[in-house]
Amino acid sequence: MSTVELTKDNFDDIVSGSDFVLIDFWAEWCGPCKQFGPVFERSSEKNNDLVYAKVDTEAQPELAAAFQIQSIPTLMIVRENIAVFSQPGALPEAALEDVIGQARNLDMDEVRASVEEAQKQEAQKQDGQAAGE
């Protein structure tokens, strides 16, 4: 599968419309990004059921900021609209395939329940802080 270029204009459509998306945040001037690029492409050929996407952080600074990207390359995996993995650094091919396997094996019902619980706790914490002001 070819890699899709994500922009602020197509990001929501592509990520929301796909169950499993790997996103490579990169820049042209970044040496490690250039090393990781071919690894990412080979992986996309092996896993043609997944969506592989790239965000050029120079051309799309809003997306980089929205995801608090501080270092590139950064790989993010989004399953069912939930970011389940995010890590800076150029992964070797075997490590990338291992991370994909782990993400495939996640029980998304458990992940959603965990996210909901964390959101409830955060809301309670904020309510408590607001009440104490």
Catalytic residue annotation: 30, 33
Q: What is the DSSP letter of 85?
A: E
CA 112 distance to own-chain centroid: 16
What's the length of the chain? 133
For 33-42, the CB contacts below 8 A with 24+ separation are 33/72, 33/73, 33/90, 35/90, 36/73, 36/75, 36/90, 36/91, 39/90, 39/91, 39/92, 39/93, 39/96, 40/3, 40/75, 40/96, 41/3, 42/93
**Could you tell me the two tokens for 49?**
């059921």
